[in-house]
Amino acid sequence: MHMADALLAPAVAATMYVASASAAGVSIHQLKKDDEPSKLPVMAVTSALVFAGQMINYTIPGTGSSGHMCGGMMLSALLGPYAGFLSMIVILTIQCLFFADGGLMALGANCWNMAFYGCFVGYFLIWRPIMNSKWFGEGKSAERARIIASSIIGCIVTLQLGAFSVVLETSLSGITELPFGAFVALMQPIHLAIGLVEGLITSAVLVFVHDSRPELLQGVELSEGGEAKRSLKSVVAILAAVAIVVGGGLSLLASSNPDGLEWALFGNADKGYSTNMGLDEENFGVDSTAAEKAESIQEKTSFLPDYAFPGSDSSAGTTVSGIVGSAIVAGVAIIICLIGGFFRRRKLKTE
Amino acid sequence: MDELAARRSPIHRLHPAAKLLTTIAYILITLSFDKYDLSGIVPMVLWPVLMFQISGVEVRTCFYKLRIVLPLVMAVGLFNPFFDRDILFHIGSLGVSGGVVSMITLMLKGVFCLMASFLLMATTKIDSLCAALRKLHVPAILVSLLQLTYRYVGVMTEELAVMTEAYHLRAPGQKGIHISAWGSFLGQLLLRSMDRAQELYSSMLLRGYHDHFHYADIDRFSIKDALYMAGCILFFLVLRYADIAQLVGGLFVR
């Protein structure tokens, strides 16, 4: 879901920077208020762990494929939403700077899509309400079930929001010709599956932490009592089944309604280039006298007369010089490389 | 990456803040090109290529990174030729549609922006970059967190690699981590890491940590840095507003 720079217009990128920076400002303010200096190394080590954990392949049973995790929900459950958000920002920054995953300008948008929803929406609207609720009854095993439920729901919901934002930002930037509806219909079901797997991984890790060191989890009231353990596997299996049914239903709903794509394929094809581009037809027309003159002049003078332009006109002529110019510039770039390489080799030899 | 950043060259010696700001300016101007302005965007390649050569970093080192960034850009761009079929111009008898042009422009934007940020990281150490971020008034907690996390990413990756190898030796013929071990695998490491973080904090306190890190003074922002920045940004603006490719091409094609 990491967006590259190329997918954003500067204005959208700047807006997203402002949005993410405000959220970061609030987070920093809250952390300062809490005044827990020892939290910094915990945040650093945990985000480094989540970063490394993203490289692990988790085999999804019965499918042969594997899933990864993204970490927003897990970080906010372990560190709280504010520290979790800052940790996610740092993870995304390192990914962008050192691993070319997402762009420098798109960082604001990426923080919003992946960190804001995962940490704030995920924590305040899903994790905390569910953990404080009386779902699944009382006791430790019920608590475990609540962890599983909130991680799975949280991951699915936050990833859906994130994917929708990617679509929104790209469409607002005017980058893709893909109509909004079709783009949404493409992105949401894919991220439904990803969210489900991520939710399962997150819940597995959080349940493990809950079993061994429950005080590490945020918003969990410690309950004493050694009642009979409900089998972890059975809870995971039941919830996974529910999630798959719900998820499958939703994706069917999403894909049984592909009118955006149909509209794009069949309804939009005859829309003129000029109306899309805002060009006036006269200057672009093929019948203008200026174009004919240009053609005759071009045929006589150009040193590339073989370019047969059907209905050649002046704008096509400038396009060719653009192409030739671009090729020359590219050539210059290659020559610069060669010269640089030559000097480097000479320097190595003299050393 | 760290090895590249530790080399010496005129670019490496520049003030990190100057490099950071120039890179941001470059990316912004590259992104501001119109989606059909293919001939306008091509000359933007000159700056990164020139800087790569001056800094002694080979251009091809950064192309390996493209495998991560290009797929999503491609996925978005690939649809353009299908939806935007109006012919923009012809090469010979071959019509080139607006979608193809906008797709290529999009990909070039992706590649150029990647080259620029790669260049920044290949010529700047993380410590000096963090110091520069502090100078630019980025909150201390964020910068400290960035630096600490970066330091621990290496440790954690190594540890996880060891654990994965151990797991696979015990579970031969298995592709990834089995579902029964999903929780305990990362969870074990997580618990150990939490303890490690406490030790880390104690050791930081013993070394006199208070509130934020102190950075070795980076060189002051000199005239040279200002000139570099101004020169580069002027160059970008010229490329943005004068269609160099068109002008150069015009010398040969009338």
B213 within domain boundaries:
no
**Same-domain check for residues B148 and B198:** yes
First-to-last C-alpha distance (Å) of chain A: 46
**Same-domain check for residues B195 and B231:** no
- Which range in A235-244, A251-260, B243-252 is most confidently predicted, on average pLDDT? B243-252
Give yes or no for a contact between A51 and A91, defined as CB atoms under 8 angstroms apart. yes
**Same-domain check for residues B116 and B27:** yes
Total count of domains within chain B: 2
**Same-domain check for residues B38 and B151:** no
Q: Do A5 and B38 touch (CB under 8 A)?
A: no
pLDDT digits (tens, 9 = 90+) for B110-162: 888 888 888 888 888 888 888 888 888 888 888 888 988 888 888 888 888 88
B134 within domain boundaries:
no
pLDDT value at position A59?
A: 65
Q: Do A320 and B83 touch (CB under 8 A)?
A: no
CATH of domain A5-171+190-222: 1.10.1760.20
Tokens coding A154: 């949280």
What phi and psi values does residue B90 have, to the nearest 5 degrees? -120, 145
B212 within domain boundaries:
no
Query: Which residue among A49, A104, A232 places its CB closest to the CB of B27?
Result: A104
**Same-domain check for residues B119 and B243:** yes
Which of A246 and B88 is assigned the larger pLDDT? B88
Domain extent for B188:
139-206
* B68, pLDDT greater than 60: yes
Q: Do A325 and B248 touch (CB under 8 A)?
A: yes
Q: Do B117 and A100 touch (CB under 8 A)?
A: yes
pLDDT digits (tens, 9 = 90+) for B184-210: 888 888 888 888 888 888 888 888 877
**Same-domain check for residues B120 and B147:** no
Give the best residue of B50, B117, B143, B160 to mutate against chain A (max A CB count within 10 A). Answer: B117
**Same-domain check for residues B157 and B242:** no
**Same-domain check for residues B37 and B120:** yes
Confidence band for A303, pLDDT divided at 50, 70 and 90: very low
**Same-domain check for residues B155 and B189:** yes
**Same-domain check for residues B243 and B186:** no
pLDDT digits (tens, 9 = 90+) for A8-21: 888 899 999 999 99
A116: exposed, middle or buried (C-beta count within 10 Å: 0-12, 13-18, 19+)?
Answer: buried
**Same-domain check for residues B18 and B87:** yes
* Contact residues on chain B for A103, CB-CB shorter than 8 A: 27, 69, 110, 113-114, 117
* Contact residues on chain A for B109, CB-CB shorter than 8 A: 5-6
Question: Is residue B192 within 8 angstroms of chain A, CB to CB?
Answer: no
Distance from CA of B219 to the nearest CA of A (A): 23
Say if strands B87-91 and B94-97 run parallel, antiparallel, or are unpaired: antiparallel
B82 within domain boundaries:
yes
Q: Distance (Å, rounded) from C-alpha B178 to C-alpha B171?
A: 9
Distance from CA of A50 to the nearest CA of B (A): 9
Q: Residue B95: beta bridge partners?
A: B90
Listed by start position, the domains of chain A span 5-171+190-222, 281-350
**Same-domain check for residues B67 and B44:** yes
Cα–chain-centroid distance for residue B76? 20
Confidence band for A234, pLDDT divided at 50, 70 and 90: low
B55 within domain boundaries:
yes
With CA atoms as reference, report the closest residue to A94 among B106, B205, B156, B190: B156
